[in-house]
Structure 1
Amino acid sequence: MSIEGATTNSDSLPITPSYLAHPPIDYKVPMTVKNPTGKPITNGIVETNGHPGVPSQPPSYVAAPMHSSYPSSIQDYLVKQNKVRVANTDDPDFIEVDFQKAQMNYSHLLTNCCKELAVNPQLVERIRKLPNTRLRNDRDVQRLCDFMELELVIKGQNRLPVSRSDTHSTSKNNYKSIHGFKNQTILY
């Protein structure tokens, strides 16, 4: 079949497509794969006496789901990642810190967090798991899951900022604060 001006001869093409110029080296897929027991596997099912038996190991070519909750290697099973910050500071950001699961105890958690945040461990009053749980011992630390948010509460540090309830409080730009009007009912 030829269309006007086009021929079927591949030598007359001005270019050679990449898939023709560079064919795959080994494009054939073996239909049977050897099982460690020596019996052939077809589609993941071991054949015993010519009849399909129980499914064998899952095929190695199946990709894991693309979720961040699945560890990518064995090393990820041995490490916990938590988010840590210093409580009641101007910086609201967390730092991700890795902990070895084999060494997960309260003192190791405290020293690691203090080292990452450049805080003296003797100044830490307690470790808080957000939103409102105090970590007290090794058992509490071992129950932590990945990416839990922790805060180091420093001794002598002000608690939550006290809001002034007077209506005369003003900020730096002489704008009246809303704190005095926060608990009022709005009537329409």
Structure 2
Amino acid sequence: MDAATNEEALREAAANGNVDEISKLIESGVDINSTNKMNGWSPLHWACKRGHLKAVEILLSSGAEKIIVNAKGETPADVTKNPEVLELLGVVEVPVNDSEPTSDLKFKPNYLSHPEFMYSKANHRDTTKIPENPLTQPFHYQPQTVTCTPPTQWAPAGLVVHPQFIVLCVRLAHVSKMNNDFVEVELDRQYAPNLAQLTDILCKALDMGIDADQIRAIRKLPHYTLKTDRDVQRLTDYQALELILQPDSLNPFDGSIVSLSSEANTSPDSRYLKDHVSKLVY
């Protein structure tokens, strides 16, 4: 093997605490202070980091440098907290006085040191099982991150997914009004409503005087229709929806919405007029 291969083998043996391999490689003339080209770690760095006392002793007795630094400027003593290793290196630990402020101590929060994997089993809900009670089931799993999708008609770019709420966009379909913009509706992410409840929620959110009985269907844009409770659970953030009214919920003259509670809608004359106009139009 060439020199570079032997040097890497020595660093690996030091990291694993393989005393026999370390002695064999040192006797073959391998540079004991060789460092990795990427991180600058020497065999002594690895032995100290892993706490292999016997390996540290052999390396030091064979001439390993105690003050050699890696790419970050760390000596072997800087990469270990093992008191026995530090003693071999001749480093005396300074006791820390807990009564004095230690604002200059460097630490890394646990949630950064050990971040939770987004797609771990604990986070991911099995969507293959049919829920027994849809009223207590959450919406299907969605990564709680910032989504930056290409801007389209139904998916604006740079939308933030809220960890607690799912946001839906709703409007009425085929209504002859100048202002028929989408309205955003927030739903608890942990409790997905069934189809009937969603219809009622969306009608109230629009605040246009319509009832759930006037809704023929909910269109999931661009070209799907919600038919079951499972369809509701599969809704994603900022999904655009349209409420399709029953044919008799639109005024045949001006296309305005006819309220179920209005007197004009319930009077016999109004129903007679609407029936005859419908026959003339259609």
TM range (shorter): 0.3 to 0.5
More helix per residue: 2
More strand per residue: 1
Larger radius of gyration: 2
- State the TM-score, normalizing by the size of structure 1: 0.47
Comparing both chains, which one has the higher relative contact order based on Cα–Cα distances under 8 Å and sequence gaps of 6 or more? 1
